[in-house]
Amino acid sequence: MYRLNGRMYTASGALLQDALAAAHAKHLRPQCACKEPAAPMYIARSAGSFVVKRMPCTGHSHAPRCPHHSHESDGSIGDSTRPAIQRDPVTGQVRIRATFAMSSGETGLSLHAGRDHGLQEVRQRFTLRDLILYLWNEAELTTWRPEFAGKRTWGVVRHHLLRAASNVWVNGTPLAHGLFIPEPFSVDKADEIRTRRLECFANGFGARSSPLQRMLLIGEVKDIVSAPPWSHVVIKHLPDTSLLLRNVSDRWHPVRYLRRIGNPSVRLLMAATFSLSHVTRPIIEHFCLVPMSAKWLPVDFGPDHREAL
């Protein structure tokens, strides 16, 4: 139930969309009535409709049975990264300043560039890991209830992530224009899926004028084959191609990290900015690894896995 302008509305009620449209135009903020005091919410416009979403870092303010509940209070986005987010109260658009670059013309700040840019400035920008956990929080994928069993598939995760990214801009670039999340693979639809993937690449790399553009991949790591000077990263649901990764230091090498986890029930999510070679082969420029449980809930294994260039 939502409280809006003094009235109560059910999440599936026929009157909710009209009420949200009117509230959005007047910049009114709904409240979730799952418990008292009511938690503040905000209204986002997505795919032609209005959606009530929880405010960042307020998942703990909702009742355990509420769909907006999350155990993550502020673990997803630390205090130091909050200045990196600006949310337009009128449009709901979110602008994020990031340490990584989405094109050659951007000034991405390396985590190791404190001497050049000031350590405080670096810390106040989103890393790839920050962005992934922010999207997970916005997509409300940090919550699990028994009725989700068997239903939180990669297709469901992908759908919610794409929706969460629809109003996000990173370093001045619409994230939706440069985001690639592999769709669930089907042998019967392999040609259709490959065509859509190439169209996604064409739209993403053709949307900007920079000659060295980058897109952002979010996908589950299936395997990594080391063949110096490259490693070949195989992503699940992307069986007909692999991503090229220049061999990096032992500390950051994904193969070693996979061995350190030693838990077959843990999924390893990769977020990576990538460019394309002349044969449309993705080449990873910057990546991070985020462990996930079998239920697609973020798991923290310490700082070693978090970011690599």
At residue 173, the pLDDT reads 86
Residue length, the chain? Answer: 309
Tokens standing for 95?
């602008």
At residue 181, the pLDDT reads 97
Nearest CA to 157 out of 176, 175, 136 is that of: 136
**What is the rounded CA–CA span in Å between residue 122 and residue 100?**
10
The answer, yes or no, to whether residue 122 has pLDDT greater than 70, is no
At residue 254, the pLDDT reads 56
3-state secondary structure at position 82: helix
Cβ(143)–Cβ(70) below 8 Å? yes
Residues 6+ apart with CB under 8 A from 85: 56, 77, 94, 95, 96, 126, 134
The answer, yes or no, to whether residue 272 has pLDDT greater than 80, is yes
Question: What is the per-residue pLDDT across 53-78, written as a single tens digit (0 to 9) for each?
Answer: 877 667 778 887 787 876 554 444 44
The answer, yes or no, to whether residue 183 has pLDDT greater than 60, is yes
Nearest CA to 303 out of 286, 285, 295, 291 is that of: 291
* Global pTM value: 0.72
**Cα separations in angstroms, 288 against 46, 132, 138, 258, 271:** 28, 9, 19, 13, 5
The answer, yes or no, to whether residue 148 has pLDDT greater than 50, is yes
Residues 10-20, mean pLDDT to the nearest whole number: 82
SS3 content of the chain, % helix, strand, coil (to 5): 30, 30, 45
Domain parsing of the chain, residue ranges: 1-69
At residue 255, the pLDDT reads 55
Question: What is the per-residue pLDDT across 161-181, written as a single tens digit (0 to 9) for each?
Answer: 998 898 899 988 899 889 999
User: Higher confidence at residue 109 or residue 169?
Assistant: 169
**What is the rounded CA–CA span in Å between residue 191 and residue 29?**
45
User: Higher confidence at residue 25 or residue 236?
Assistant: 236
